[in-house]
Structure formats: C-alpha cells, structure tokens
Structure 1
Amino acid sequence: MTLRVRLPVVVGIDVGSTNTKVVALTADGAVVARASRPTRRAGADLAVDAAALVLAIEDMVVEVCGDSRVIHALCVAGIGEDGVLVDGRLRPLTPALAWFDPRRHAVFEALRPDLVDDHTFDVDTDPVRSLVGWRWARAQPGTERAAAWIALTDLPAVAWTGRAFLSDTLAPRTAAWRSGERAWAHDRVAVSLGDQNLLPPVVPTGEVVGEIVSPALRAAGVMAADAIAVAGGHDHPIGGWGVQLMVPGAVLDSMGTAEVVVAQSSSARRRGDDHVDVAPGIRASGSTLLLVEELARNVQWASRDAEVGRAIRHLLIGRSAPLPLWESGWFVPGQRGGGQPSYAPDAPVDPRVRASAVLGALAVAGRDAVDAVRRDVGGTAEVRMAGGWVRSPGWIALKAAVNGAPAVPILEPEVTAVGAALLAATARGWSPDPVDALGGFVSGMLG
C-alpha cells in the first residue's frame, strides 16, 4: 500500500466580529482550501466564547487540511480590541467583551475621569479600546485567579504554543501602550486592569512565537513535526501588508462593517490630530497607518425608512444611478464611538435623493480617509479596495466618481486571512507569490 504524500501548506486565520475564516496556502502562493464559521458568542450575549472559538478554529484547521495537506506554519489575525483574562494554564476565565458591545459605554464613562489624556498614544481614547474591556473583565466573578490577559486574536496561538504574548499591532488598540517608547502607560493600566503583571510580553507581528504543541492538532495528524505559530495581530494592518506585497506602496481601502483605510509608512509616525491610528510597521521599520470610518451602521440607520432602504439597495446593485449629491451636506454620518447619523434640516424627503445623499456622504468620508492616510506615503499611492462592498457594482461606480479615479477591487474575498498566511509563509522561509495568493481563486477551480 502506497502512503499518500501530504501537500505542505501554511494556514492563515481571520477572527472576525461576525465570522472566522481559515485559508490554506501553498509555498508558491496558491490558496487550496477555505473554511468559515460564525464567531462563537456566549449564549445570547454579544461577548465571544473564547474557549469555544479556539475549538472551532482547530476544527476548521483540520477541515482545510483533510487527508491531503500538512501544516508547516499558522498565523492568526483578527479583532483588534477584544480579549480575555486567563488562568495559569491559559484557559479563559471570562468571555471577550465585543468591541461593539453597548455595555462598553457605561464602563468607559465610569473610567474616563481617571484617564489622563495626551497625544502620545497611538489611537483615540474611546469606548472601543481594550482598557475598557480590562475594567469590565476585572469585575466578573472568578477573575481573582487571573494569571494574564490575552488578546482574543492571539489566544489560539497562545493555546497552541503554551506561550503568552501580545502582538505589537494589537498593543496600540488597548489605548494604554505607546509604540514609540514600546512601553505601557502605568497609570492607565492601574485604573483599568489593575496589575501590569497580567500583561504578556509584546512581540513583533510576524515573529515566530514557538512550535505548535497543541494535542488536538497533533492528534489530527495535520501538523508537520516542526510546525510553528507566528505572531499575527490586528486584521486590517495584516491585510494591508499583504496587499502591499502585491502592489508596493499601495493603500488598502477595506469596506465591511466599517471602512478601514490602511497603509505601511517607511517613517516612524506619531499620532496627530487627523485621527489616523498608528501601529508598528510589519516586518519593517516605520509605521502602520489606519483610519476607521463608520459604514454599515449608517446605511442601517437610513434604511429604517423602508423606501430609502429600497433606494439604497437599488443604487448599490447598479439598478439605478445615484444623484450627484455627495457634497450636498444633506446627510451627516455617525462617527466611530456611537455618534448618531442625521439628515440636515433642509434635506428633501424623496427616497432616491436621501439614498444618494447617504451613499455619497459615505463615499466622501472614505475618500477623505484615504487622503489622510496616504499623505504619509507620498500622497499619490495606488489604492486597492477589498471587503464585501466591492461586490456591489453601484458602490464601486460611486466610489470612482467621488474619488475621480478608477476603483480597483481585489478579487480575493479573504484578504486578511491570506495576509496572515503570507506572514506564516514568510516566517517559515517560503516565498509565495502575493499576486497568486490574492488573485481570488482556489487552486483547482479553473481548467
């Protein structure tokens, strides 16, 4: 009997707010398998069941390997702010409070008077940040046994290697870490987490954190003997890093629940008054630049009016053309952190007019976000678009009209998961072709 030789692959994982995705990538850059499942919630709660999430990821990893592939490296990217307290055996003691959970606002308001503000942090201080989750977690029962706080995105690799760590693209999302000094703000940690010893070492995204010792993955027979876990981190920077491998110097405009614009800058940038978030560069000196604008929430708000919602759908699918109202000021988008959308008092009530004003205003916000980010990368960097919204032809046409330039979409639907796989491959010493990796096809589908 001839034993079948398994194909060597790396695996990239994207822990999203709604779904978690897994892709397997070959050494030359072909995506050969995919899997996706809803991100596990704690019952009817918005919080994430962290232990169940790790088990689900392990199941998907085994699924993409089947009986024909073997993993040489794994890397996890994903949600930026969520995390859990764990015990001495790295088992979660709490659920992960979702970054969009409404409970964060009350926790933040109670915490805000104790937060000394300055401009040395990498992100704005608001209810989204991890330090709010720290304060909430310490109030949960059973946390007196806590040995560490682990970011939800890092948790699978922590569990697989037995090594606690925090990826350096996630550390800034806490609003208690200064990337320039690579140091924690002791006062902020004290009033939110309480004990800085609960914070694991911060390691560079893309660094090997250890060999995989997971009994579950080893028992499944899908791991190479020397398989490694690679530090991933924040989803959008990792997706942007992958896109920049394909188009050097490019800016990624990723459009899903939010519109996130990201780029790699060769200079070490400090956060200014333009609300551009800053994180360390990935596998390079310099900085990762990030700007987030609300997208889906504004459309959902406008769609409460059924006729406006229908008009928006028709514009997005290209059934009707938008009116050129993007500079009308008739719609004011809600901003990140909970600001309520609104119409201007003089906005007409005609559904097509309102739909055009809504989508036009959102396209302008995206354009301005791109302009703010690419000032630091030369001002004329190419832009590539990704995310679920690129499948809406009317939206792509509107973006092109507002931007005054062609809207160029990326075909690959899972840019972050593929970016994580490219990180894993690079750490393994492989040199996959990023153009093949981000081309949007599973090997074997053509021909």
Structure 2
Amino acid sequence: MYVGIDVGTSMVKAAAFDASGREIAVESRPVALDIRDGFVEQDMDEVYAAVVDVLAALTSGTAGPAGPAGVELAGLTGQGDGVWLVDAQGRPVRPAISWMDGRAHELLDEWMASGVFASVFRRTGSAMFPGCPGPVLGWLDRHEPKVLDGAATALYCKDMVFQRLTGVRATDVSDASMPFLDPRTRTYDDESLALLGLTHRRGLLAPVSDPVAVGETRGPGLPPGTRIANGPYDLPACALGAGVTRPGDGLLIIGTCLASLVATDTLDLEAGEPAGLYISTDRQGQWLRAMPAMVGTAALDWVLRTTGVRHAEVDALLDQAPPGANGVQVLPYFAPSGERAPFVEPRLRAELTGVSLETTKGDLVRATCEGIAFAARHCLEAAGLTGDLAVCGGGTRSPAWMRLFADVLGRPLRVVEGEVGARGAVLAAAERYGVELDAASWTRPTAVIEPDAGRAEFYTVAYAKHLAHLAEARRRGRGRGGG
C-alpha cells in the first residue's frame, strides 16, 4: 500500500493506492480558515491533528478502509505559499498566515511602484502577491518583529507537517520557488532577499533539500518507521499525478484557486509581464510555468451561496442558460487579495454586468462559470500551452462545466479524477526511494471531453470581450490607487 497525503487549504486528505495506482481508499477532514478584514489564518495544531486523524483512519490495521496491507512508503504534499512560523521543535509560534491573506497588499504596492517587484521576478521567475512569503515576512518584520525573533523557521504548510512527523527541518525546490529561489542555481537568491529588506531574516528559511527530503515517521498517524518523502507542493504534485511532464503539455486545476501549469525545459526570466512563476521540479533543467490564479471554485461558491443555489443544481442551470448567459458577464476576481496570475493586481475586485430584472439564477451561474473559464484560457495562453491539456480538481465533478471549459478553451480535456495531488506525492516519493512504479498506469485519464466547434467559435469572440472588460477594470483599479 502506498499513501499520499494532501494538506489542502480547507480539506486534509490521505489516499491509499495499490502498486498499479488504483485508489483503494480516501479519508478526509475539513480544516477551518479564520477570515477577517483581509486577514486569512489557520490553526497549525488543528491542521496537524487532521493529518494524524486521516492517516490513523486510513491505516489502522485490518480495521482500516485500506485493508491489511502494510505501508510501503508515503508521500506528502500540500498548499503552497503563506508563512507557517514554528519554533525549533516545529511547534507554532503564531497562527499560520494563508496564501489567501491580503494584509501585505500595501507593502506589495510599494514594491511594485519602486521596481523591487519586477527586479525580484527577473531574478527568481516569481511574481509576488500579498499571500506569498516575501510580502508576508516583510509585513511581519514591520508589525510583529518579536514574533519573528522568537521563531526558528518560516515554513510552508507541508514542511510544518513533515517536521512534526519526522523531526526533519526542510523544504523542497518547488515550495522554495516562491519567491526566494534562483531557478538556475536551485539555491536561495541573496540579492532578492536584500531587495526585499529581508537579509537579516535569512536564517528563518528552511534548508532546501534537492531532491526532496526523506525521513521516517516517529509520531502518530502512520506506523513508526514508515518511509516518507516531503514534497513537491500541491501544484507540481498534481502535475506529476496527471502525467504532465512533456514540454508544452499543461494541467488545469479547478479548485479553490485556478492553477494553470505548463511543463517547459526553457527558462526565460526576461520575457512578458511579471506574473506567475517558474516552479523548479526534482528534474534538473525542467520547470513548470505556472499561472496560479486566485479565482477558482471559491468564486462560484460565493455566487451559489448568494443566490441560494445548491451545488447539485449547477449542471441543470448551465444547460438551461445559453452560451453568453443572456448578456450577463462576470469578472470573477472575488479574492480579498485581488489577482496574481496572469497579472498581479492586489486591488482588483469582481464585477457583474449586464444584469436586469429578467436575469435568472441560471444566467448568473453560467456567467460565473464562463468568467472562470475565460480566466483559465488567459492563464494557459500566458503559460505557453502548446500540447495536450489535462484537468483535475473539484470542478471536474460537474460534467456541464467541463463541457463549457472544453468549448471556451477550444481543445480536448484529459480528465484525471481522484486524489491527483496525493497520487503525485506518491510518485515523487517512489522516485526518491528508487521504487519502480508504472507512471503511465498511475496517471491514466478517466475521460476525454471534446469541444463543440460551434460553441468554441462563439467563445473565441466572447473571450475577446472578456479581455477588453478586464483591461478596463484594471485601468479603473489603478486609477483608485491600486497595484
């Protein structure tokens, strides 16, 4: 039995697989987000307890849902970005600051105006946003310096869990990619730290293990002595779990955030608008050009809550409303910290236009789903997609939305269902330990959805209108003193 652990933003999951990649069982537990006035935090002890709980439920001897098989090895992945401050024993010194947090937007505004933002991108290939470690550590250095003084490490989510499980203090090249890693040398870039005014906090950065760190579990959850590997974080783990490794091929993750990733063997830090990031992978000379947008299923969830529509009704409503949603348009930028890909606008906010007394719930739902799909197309184009496209995440549970995505993107979708991030974490662990697994079998798609030619043509025109609407919204935001 092989176990993958995925420590998500709102849900912690552990999945068991057999040697062929068949998903045997999954255990999950929700974890809370404390959201107030643009601050988004999480209780690290609650997150770790959820990890222990799902692992114990999954592997508790013959009574566990995975059956009597022993654990060959485990792989760990989880949400990226944010800051998870711990002491020398890996215990929290304050609540974790989530990647969704917006408190550092004014500091990011300063860096964008001064040129620091662009300079760091050209050195690291990482476009900062309010919830990434650079701005968050900068904010803490200004407002909570004593907390930083009392911390031993500023970790990422999965690194906190790994240290608690094994006692090993480490991160990997994928998590370190945002925003301090030089993707050419695969080490921390001291000049970027100096530009951000964080040289004196360099000691808080965890050692970068290249390849990923390994250890043996010593605490509850998994049997003591279980071999476990730390990383990569959830975006590159999903790419591995979906079989996206060939340059030009891409992955769209339709989750809380909308992540677009394209595999590449070319590193160009000078071209294009500073946005997204280059994620270093365990393979030298290979990266993922990533456009992890803040927009995602959270935007649709807000519209459903506001309109009183249940998730089970979404497919029927999408089928009832025509393409174009009877003139309703949605710019789906609902996150408190604005948007981070394929552009950075910390103050950008959502807009609903074309609404009248004749507008139906179906129009609002379809317009929102279309807006999210347009954002995906924008990100994938910016990331350089030229090959096949895989898709995974919670949004794939809606067949009607998947058809809409195929039409908007104008290309077939290789749907990969199940716990794709946990699957990728196991594949990364197997490679690190030299355990041979059939990657093609583990990453086989469950369906392929073809676009409708007529609707794809319609959406090509609608997408151009979306871009024009977005450009105007960005101009208005800057006029109000935005990023």
Q: TM-score range by the shorter chain?
A: 0.7 to 0.9
TM-superposed deviation, 1:383: 1.0
Q: What's the Cα RMSD here?
A: 3.5
Residues 162-171 or 138-147, more deviating: 138-147
Deviations 1:86-128 (A, max 9, x none): 2223322122111213434356567777872313232222212
Aligned mates of 1:42, 1:230 — CA distance in 2: 29
Taking structure 2 as the reference length, the TM-score comes to 0.75
Task: Measure the CA separation in 1 of the matches of 2:256 and 2:270.
Answer: 24
The answer to whether 1:15 aligns with 2:7 is yes
- CA shift, 1:312, in A, is 9.7
Residue 350 of structure 2: aligned partner: 341
The residue number in structure 1 matching 2:16 is 24
What is the count of residue pairs matched by the alignment? 417
| C-alpha distance 327-30 of structure 1, shift in aligned 2 (>3 A) | same
Q: One-letter code of the match for 1:406?
A: P
Distance 1:20 1:132 in 2: 26
CA distance in structure 2 between the aligned counterparts of 1:312 and 1:411, rounded to whole angstroms: 18
Q: Distance in 2 between matches of 1:128 and 1:46?
A: 9
Could you tell which deviates more after superposition, 69-78 or 383-392? 69-78
Offset of residue 372 of structure 1: 2.7
Do residues 421 (structure 1) and 422 (structure 2) align?
no
Residues in 2 aligned to 1:83 and 1:400: alpha-carbon distance in whole angstroms: 36
Query: 1:120–1:271: 8 Å Cα contact kept in structure 2?
Result: no
- CA deviation after TM superposition for structure 1 residue 297, in Å: 4.4
The equivalent position to 2:374 in structure 1, one of 353, 364, 367, is 364
The answer to whether structure 1 residue 98 and structure 2 residue 108 are counterparts is no
Partner of 1:127: 130
Could you tell me how far 1:258 is from its partner in structure 2?
A: 1.8
Distance in 1, Cα, partners of 2:425 & 2:5:
6
Partner residue, 1:409: 415
What is the CA–CA distance in structure 2 between the aligned matches of 1:188 and 1:112, rounded to whole Å? 16
Query: Aligned residue for 1:4?
Result: none
SS of residue matched to 1:191: coil
TM-score by length of 1: 0.80
Find the counterpart in structure 1 of residue 287 from structure 2.
287
Q: 1:41 to 1:171 in 2, by over 3 A?
A: same
Contact 1:85/1:137 (8 A) holds in 2: no
The answer as to whether partners of 1:87 and 1:146 remain within 8 angstroms in 2 is yes
Instruction: Tell me, in whole angstroms, the C-alpha distance in 1 between the residues paired with 2:264 and 2:192.
Output: 30
Q: Which amino acid aligns with 1:257?
A: T
**Contact 1:132-1:192 within 8 A present in 2 as well:** no
1:388-399 correspondence runs (5 A): 388-399=394-405
- Is the CA contact (8 Å cut-off) linking 2:326 and 2:363 kept in structure 1? no
Report the equivalent of 1:172: 177
Deviations 1:19-42 (A, max 9, x none): 011112233323223211113557
Contact 1:331 1:358 (C-alpha < 8 Å) held by counterparts: yes
Change (3 A) 1:432 1:248: farther
- What is the aligned counterpart of 1:155 among 135, 160, 173? 160
Alignment partner, residue 52 of structure 1: 46
Extract unaligned runs of 5+ from structure 2. 62-67, 340-345, 447-483
* SS of 1:93 mapped into structure 2: coil
User: Residue 239 of structure 2 aligns with which residue?
Assistant: 240
Q: CA deviation at 1:404?
A: 2.6
Kept in 2: contact 1:41–1:47 (CA 8 A): yes
Match of 2:201 in 1: 195
2:431 corresponds to 1:437: no
* Residues 398/313 of structure 1: CA separation in 2 closer, same or farther (3 Å cut): farther
Query: Do the aligned partners of residues 143 and 196 (structure 1) sit closer, same or farther apart at CA in structure 2, a change above 3 Å counting?
Result: closer
Gaps of 5+ in 1: 1-8, 442-447
**Residue 196 of structure 1: how far off its partner (Å):** 0.9
- Quickly say closer, same or farther: Cα 1:300–1:106, change in 2 above 3 A: farther
Equivalent in the alignment of 2:87: 87
Alignment partner of 1:59: what SS?
helix
Q: Secondary structure at the match of 1:74?
A: strand
Task: Answer 1 or 2: higher relative contact order, Cα 8 Å, separation at least 6.
Answer: 1
- Greater fraction helix: 2
Q: Which secondary structure state, in structure 1, belongs to the residue aligned with residue 128 of structure 2?
A: coil
Equivalent-residue separation in structure 2 for 1:430 and 1:249 (angstroms): 27
Distance (Å, rounded) in 2 between the aligned partners of 1:86 and 1:310: 41
Alpha-carbon offset, residue 303 of structure 1: 5.2
State the AA in 2 paired with 1:132: P
Correspondence for 1:74: 74
How much has 1:243 moved relative to structure 2? Answer: 1.3
> Which residue number corresponds to residue 254 of structure 2?
255
Whole-angstrom distance in 2 between the partners of 1:163 and 1:387: 30
Give the structure 2 partner of residue 3 of structure 1.
Answer: none
Structure 1 equivalent of residue 331 of structure 2? 332
Provide the identity percentage. 20
- Per-residue deviation, 1:278: 0.7
